Amino acid sequence: MDIKMLKAKIHRLRVTDADLYYEGSITVDRELLDTAGILPYEKVQVVNVNNGERLETYTIPGEAGERTVCLNGPAARRAAAGDEVIVIAYAELTPTEARQHHPRVVHVDDNNDVTKTRTLDVSTDDGDLAPEGMEDVLIAESDADKSKRSRNEHQPQMEIRSASDPPESISLWLRPETFLRVSVAVNLALDLQGAARPWG
């Protein structure tokens, strides 16, 4: 018997638009989908924090860097620009797979820029504790950096690798001005020398 588990969640996205006459779906910035591990056209649940509405639809990738979050078609009647929504994806896993599963949670700010990613461990009671070999990554930038940042500038991808054997890794899209801090879970040793390297 398969178990339906949380796969990924993007927490408190700010709705930027609602288009009643577009094909039904939710448009989400492609970079946000990639960070969460949610595929284009994947089925998701959308929960509106402002009015409690819940709906199921599928994702359409928006322009990278635009931070668009747009409810389309009939879903446009469930949210307005400025509302906060949670986008949730699920996966059906066998009991064995479920016990080894690590859901990902992405937090964003009021501009839909990523501030933090968390990897949950179903084998512990504390959802804030990352599983062995994985890291919590906090991305922050100053107000000055935000004011001079262009949405269209090149954003190199970085790969963060742990010192575990075999090494675990995650990939992030970072801006040149972005300050990256890796916070390490208890008993996790990172080889900081060469831990981050440009990719692509």
* Averaged pLDDT, 5-18: 97
Q: Which residues pair with 172 in a beta bridge?
A: 158
The amino acid at residue 139 is I
Burial class (CB in 10 A: 0-12, 13-18, 19+), 42: middle
Supply the residues annotated as catalytic: 25, 58
Domains of the chain (ranges plus CATH)? 3-93 (2.40.40.20), 132-199 (no CATH)
User: What is the DSSP pairing of strand 25-29 with strand 54-62?
Assistant: parallel
Q: Which helix (H) or strand (E) holds 12?
A: strand 3-14
pLDDT, mean over the chain? 75
In tens, the pLDDT along 43-90 reads 999 999 999 999 999 999 999 999 999 999 999 999 999 999 999 999
Q: Is the pLDDT of residue 172 over 60?
A: no
In tens, the pLDDT along 112-149 reads 999 999 999 887 645 444 444 444 444 444 444 444 44
